[in-house]
Structures are given as structure tokens and as C-alpha cells.
Amino acid sequence: MTGHTKRNAPGTSWASTPGTRRSMQSNKGRDTKPELALRRAIHAMGLRYRVSFRPIPSVRRTADLVFTRARLAVFLDGCFWHGCPEHHTVAKANAEYWASKVEANRERDRQTDRLLEEAGWAVLRVWEHEDPLEAAARVRALYETASRQSVKRPQP
């Protein structure tokens, strides 16, 4: 759920107001309520995972949950930050900046998925609004499939 930081010219800010800037800076990149709920549900199923881990160390992309033996990377995407088709809202202030930011996030998500899949990883994206128990069931199903497949393919 982390994003790329863009540098602004001195004296300028991406935020429309100082209050907006403070609010946006307080957003957490990990251990959010949806992420903790998903992790609890998955842990209760007996599955163990790495948190905020780079599946491919040479690629600066961090998955929220990583099952290393199964080669499964799970991303929990925020509705605003990743442009959820159901819940994404258009920013009222600085709309052009935020639209560009969200589109760049979506493009990076697609690139990340492609890079991981090319390296033999299974990728699952979960929206923050999804029911954690239902999402955990999807994770478990893909984990079981990926575990069977990782036995067949050689590890790099």
C-alpha cells in the first residue's frame, strides 16, 4: 500500500492546504486496520507469512503479505490510492494531481504484477473494503494452488 514520493519544487507542495498535508502524511503505509484484520484472519487459518517483504530483493516493490515457499505475494490496496472501481472518489482539491497520482499507482501495480509473475510468483490483490474473512479464503485457496505449483518449479 505504499506509494512513490514525488519531489516538488522548493516552496511548493502537492497538498492544497497545510491541513491536508498533515492529514495525508499521517496515513500509514502498513499495519492499517484492513491489513491487520486480513492478517488476523489468515493467521487464524494456520497460514504463516512475511509482512512488508520484497518478493524479489532486486526490485523495489514491497508486498503486504508474502508466502515465500508458495511464492505468493498479497497486496492490500487502498480504494483511494489504487483507484477502486467501487469506492474511489475524485479529489475535490488538486484533482489533476491526485488523478495523475492514482493512475501512476495503478500502472505501477500492473508492472509489479507482471514482474512477479515473470519471476514465478503468484499475485493476489485485495481491496481494503473487502470482507477480511472472504479475502482470507481467497488467499488460502491461491496459497494451496501456489504451494502445489512451487513444488514443480525450480527455485531461482
Q: What is the pTM of this model?
A: 0.80
Taking 50 as the threshold, does the pLDDT of residue 1 lie above it? Answer: no
Per DSSP (E only), the strands in 93-142 are 122-127
Concatenate the DSSP letters of all residues of 25-54 into one string.
HT--SSS-HHHHHHHHHHHHTT---EEEE-
Q: How confident is the model at residue 13 (pLDDT cuts 50, 70, 90)?
A: low
Decide if pLDDT at 40 tops 90. Answer: yes
The CATH number for 103's domain is: 3.40.960.10
DSSP 155: P
Residue 122 pLDDT more than 50? yes
CA pair distance 34, 39, nearest whole angstrom: 9
Q: Does any domain span residue 39?
A: yes
Residue 113 inside a domain? The answer is yes
Number of domains into which the chain is organized: 1
Rounded CA-CA distance 108/102 in Å is 10
Whether residue 124 is contained in a domain is answered as yes
Residue 28 has pLDDT above 60, yes or no: no
Collect all residues with Cβ–Cβ distance below 8 Å to 5 and sequence separation of at least 6. none
The pLDDT value given to residue 80: 87
**Structural domain boundaries enclosing 115:** 30-151
The CB density around residue 114, as the number of other CB atoms within 10 Å, is: 11
